Amino acid sequence: MIKIPPQPCDYELPDPKKSALIVIDMQRDFMERGGFGDSLGNDIDALRPAVKPISRLLELFRKLELMIIHTVEGHAPDLSDCPPSKLRRGEATLKIGDPGPMGRILILGEPGNGIIPELAPRAGEKILTKPGKGAFCRTELELFLREMGITPLIITGVTTEVCVQTTMREANDRGFECLLVEDGTESYFPAFKHSVLQMVRAQGGIVGWTAMSHNIIQALGGGQ
């Protein structure tokens, strides 16, 4: 039994082999100039601080041979999986599917839709593509986790209040024990990140737990 000192109380990992690190949407489309996030008018540099903590967690999970799942938000080139509401939404200079400096915006397989090089998936790590904000919406994630016997999920990625929070809530309702990594997630809006961390762990952990990456790394025997 491994105990991580997070909030609101200790998060218990009965068997780390049955846990997964989920890295949500660490894509060029959200992190780099000319991508989807930038076209929506966001300050993309606000997301950078999450990269190092996620990289350290990836390193440890790889060393311990624990499950790693990367998610990618993107759509088929013909946009058949993109609801018209999502296509219309926002005041982006470039809409989903439009050609941009890194290829078509938020389209699977385009250079800009890929995961940033610092966090590139390695062989054997699952890459889950998803058309929505939540990783359980129109994907095989729940079936995959159940087949693998995974229940505790250690959640990282961007953006905190959009894809990360949606996924964490979806997972919580499905009975997964979720731990959100405080320094392994970022938002374009710092106040939104702060609020999500608070609302997740309020009411005795109504949605789950939060902890700093160094506490998780230490609990798993990774040191500093």
> Can residue 178 be called a binding residue for ligand TIU (CB under 6 A)?
no
- Any catalytic annotation for residue 163? yes
> Can residue 119 be called a binding residue for ligand TIU (CB under 6 A)?
no
Query: Which of 29, 163, 178, 183 is labelled catalytic?
Result: 163
Characterize 25-51 residue by residue with b for buried, 16 or more Cβ atoms within 10 angstroms of its Cβ, and e for exposed. bbbbbbbbebbbbbbbebebebbeebb
Question: Which residue from 163, 181, 196, 216 is in contact with ligand TIU, where contact means CB under 6 A?
Answer: 163
For residue 117, what are the β-bridge partners? none
Q: Rounded to 5 degrees, what are φ and ψ at 207?
A: -110, -25
Choose the stretch contacting ligand TIU; rule: CB under 6 A; options: 156-164, 177-185, 196-204, 215-223: 156-164
What's the rounded Cα separation, in Å, for the pair 154 and 57?
Answer: 10
- Any catalytic annotation for residue 183? no
> Can residue 30 be called a binding residue for ligand TIU (CB under 6 A)?
yes
Task: Tell which positions 41-70 bind ligand TIU, by CB under 6 A.
Answer: none
What is the Cα Rg of the chain in Å? 17
Q: Rounded to 5 degrees, what are φ and ψ at 186?
A: -145, 160
Please state the closest distance from residue 27 (CB atom) to ligand TIU, in A: 7
Nearest to 44 by CA among 142, 189, 169, 221: 189
- Any catalytic annotation for residue 86? no
Q: Which residues fall within 8 angstroms of residue 98, CB to CB, at 6 or more apart?
A: 104, 105
Please state the closest distance from residue 24 (CB atom) to ligand TIU, in A: 6
Please state the closest distance from residue 22 (CB atom) to ligand TIU, in A: 12
What's the rounded Cα separation, in Å, for the pair 201 and 102?
Answer: 37
Question: Which residue from 4, 20, 21, 25 is in contact with ligand TIU, where contact means CB under 6 A?
Answer: 25
> Can residue 162 be called a binding residue for ligand TIU (CB under 6 A)?
yes
Q: Which residues are known to be catalytic?
A: 25, 130, 163
The site for ligand TIU (CB under 6 A) is made up of 25, 30, 37, 40, 73, 133, 158-159, 162-163, 188
